[in-house]
Amino acid sequence: MPTISVTVNGEERRAEIESRMLLVHFLRETLNLTGTHIGCDTTSCGACTVHWNGRPVKSCTIFAVQVDGDEIRTVEGLETGGQLHPVQEGFWEEHGLQCGFCTPGMMMTAAALLEENPHPSEEEIRFAISGNLCRCTGYVNIVKAIQYAARKQAGAEAAAAGGA
């Protein structure tokens, strides 16, 4: 069995795994990071979305051995220093969740979107999350949550620029 070394949420992790183990199972079962949800195993729902070297991917279709030597960020890695990420705060403030099953994947997709495009239009937000399925809502509050996060990040950037 191969041994892999992966930096997950900033911490290097090593484990001996079966070569056929999916990344989602590695995260949940080997590393006990259960925020990444298993929804479909077919890339249809996006509940298992994580960042692989900064890019959002659906971890149910990637073998864990493929990420050997790379960086993975899960929903548990969004908050830093005890502070919620603006996307997490947005989902809280704008009630961007119902049952919460899709929420981790939605948050990871939204965080990647805002890193690439800090000021997305509603259409760009809806396009970005189109690979994530929510079975409970009409996506209205999810979009509002991402817009909230974009405004929050823009405000923080403006404050930082003004204070420099």
- Mean pLDDT of the region 86-113: 96
Q: At residue 29, does pLDDT exceed 90?
A: yes
- Mind listing the domains of the chain with CATH numbers? 3-77 (3.10.20.30), 86-159 (1.10.150.120)
Quick: pLDDT tens for 52-94: 999 999 999 999 999 999 999 999 999 999 999 999 999 999 9
pLDDT cut 70: percent of the chain above it: 99
Give the DSSP letter string of 44-75: SS-TTEEEETTEEEEGGGSBGGGGTTSEEE-G
CA 137 to chain centre: 19
Q: For position 105, what pLDDT does the model report?
A: 97
Q: Is 124 helix (H, G, I), strand (E, B) or coil?
A: helix
Work out the mean pLDDT of the chain and round it to a whole number. Answer: 94
Res. 158 pLDDT band, cuts 50 70 90: confident
pLDDT for res 164? 55
115-142 per-position pLDDT tens digit: 999 999 999 999 999 999 999 888 999 9
pLDDT at 7: 98
Helices (H), the chain: 23-25, 86-93, 103-116, 122-128, 140-163
Kindly report the pTM of this predicted structure: 0.93
Q: If you average pLDDT over residues 22-41, what whole number do you get?
A: 95
Position 55 scores a pLDDT of: 97
pLDDT given for residue 49 in this prediction = 98
Q: Is 70 exposed, middle or buried (0-12, 13-18, 19+ CB in 10 A)?
A: middle
